[in-house]
Amino acid sequence: MIRIITIEREFGCGGGEIAHQLAERLGWKLWDQQLTEHIAKQAHCPMEVVMQREERTDPLYYRLFKSFLRGSYEGNLNAQKLGVIDSESILKHTQAAVLKVASEGHCVIVGRGSQLFLKDRDDTLRVFLYAPREEKVRRLRERGKSQQEAEELVDNVDRERKEFIAKYFHVAWPNPCVYHLMINTASGDVTTVEAITDFMKSFDLLHQEALTSA
């Protein structure tokens, strides 16, 4: 039986809002910003730092800075004192957090590599949400972004996620084989939520029938 749903999404397609509505519909716990807060506590660093590092690789200047610090004994001591937090350390904390909340079940987890951390679990439904570029820009414009800012965010955030998944998980983003369901959110948030819940019911039914006939 499905106890966990992971929502991976293209930036601007409404994934966060849809995940929120889905969690409310199911009466399950939503792990989105809450997961970032949890990771920040575990990493002993400000939430803003985690938000800057999660689901992306370190920028060049930061990689050079880390290399400089790690280049000498004195540098290593300084790195510890400064509490340098990079994408790799955030990823480790993220994996631990995702596995923990998954063990509790009845939750909707948004992004952060959760679809790959949990890809071998039979009780997890993995969903990918996407939308046409103009639809994503429209959604961001409604949230107060300018046309130029919306277009830049749509192009850049997904590029960073693609690089992040390629570097740390060694797979393409998105990889259709990872997901049980891929939905174009241009059909509307309500329709998308209904599609996910209907699919989950059918998925559970098929699984139960398979167990019965085994």
The three-class DSSP label of residue 115 is: helix
> Of 52, 47, 45, 54, whose CA–CA distance to 168 is shortest?
54
- Cis bond before residue 174 (omega within 30° of 0): yes
What was the pLDDT predicted at 63?
Answer: 45
How far apart CA 18 and CA 71 sit, in angstroms, is 45
> Of 50, 57, 59, 58, whose CA–CA distance to 32 is shortest?
50
Least confident of 47-51, 83-87, 127-131: 83-87
The three-class DSSP label of residue 54 is: coil
Burial letters 172-206, b for 16+ CB under 10 A, else e: ebbeeebbbeebebbeeeeebbebbeebbeeeeee
Say whether pLDDT at 32 is over 60: yes
Looking at the chain, the number of H-run helices and the number of E-run strands are 10, 5
In tens, the pLDDT along 133-185 reads 999 999 999 999 999 999 999 999 999 899 989 999 999 999 999 999 999 99
- Is 134 in contact with 22 (CB distance < 8 Å)? no
> Of 97, 119, 110, whose CA–CA distance to 177 is shortest?
119
Least confident of 41-45, 115-119, 168-172, 207-211: 207-211
What was the pLDDT predicted at 88?
Answer: 81
Which residues, at least 6 apart from 173, have a Cβ–Cβ distance to it below 8 Å? 161, 162, 164, 165, 166
Q: Which of 34-38, 128-132, 163-167, 168-172 is the most confident on average?
A: 128-132
What was the pLDDT predicted at 81?
Answer: 40
How far apart CA 188 and CA 178 sit, in angstroms, is 24
Radius of gyration of the chain (CA): 19
Say whether pLDDT at 60 is over 50: no
What was the pLDDT predicted at 58?
Answer: 55
- Residue 205: CATH number of its domain: 3.40.50.300
| Structural domain count of the chain | 1
Say whether pLDDT at 70 is over 50: no
Q: What is the mean pLDDT of residues 97-116?
A: 96
Q: Which helix or strand (DSSP H or E) is residue 128 part of?
A: strand 124-130
The three-class DSSP label of residue 8 is: strand
Q: Which helix or strand (DSSP H or E) is residue 7 part of?
A: strand 4-9
How far apart CA 10 and CA 192 sit, in angstroms, is 14
What was the pLDDT predicted at 72?
Answer: 43
- Quote the domain boundaries for residue 93: 4-213
- Is 131 in contact with 186 (CB distance < 8 Å)? yes
